[in-house]
């Protein structure tokens, strides 16, 4: 079995994080669906699976801003790193 750890490290200003929705999908299964600030606050996201040496896995990261977000997000930004470790 393999353990896949995701470390989302916020760098600098992240004043748009409360407006950006992140969905993480593994092989058509939604694993995470919430705002960036929730992920940065918890930073405890991992996958433990029966993933074997020659297996493949499709991971999809979708970032979107909901249509109802208006001028409150104008001029705001985020900056972060994603470190993926497979053990």
Please give the C-alpha separations between residue 13 and each of 6, 10, 53, 56, 71, in angstroms, as whole numbers: 20, 8, 39, 35, 18
- Cα separation of 16 and 36, whole Å? 9
CB 57 within 8 A of CB 2: no
pLDDT at 44 exceeding the cut of 80: no
Lowest mean pLDDT among 18-22, 49-53, 74-78: 49-53
Give residue 20's pLDDT band: very low, low, confident or very high (50, 70, 90): very high
């Amino acid at each position: 079995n393999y353990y896949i750890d995701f470390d989302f490290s916020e760098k600098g200003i992240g004043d748009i994080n409360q407006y950006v929705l992140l969905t993480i999908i593994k092989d058509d299964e939604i694993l995470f669906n919430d705002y960036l600030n929730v992920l940065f606050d918890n930073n405890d996201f991992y996958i433990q699976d029966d993933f074997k040496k020659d297996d493949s896995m499709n991971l999809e990261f979708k970032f979107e801003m909901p249509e109802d977000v208006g001028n409150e997000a104008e001029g705001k930004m985020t900056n972060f790193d994603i470190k993926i470790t497979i053990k």
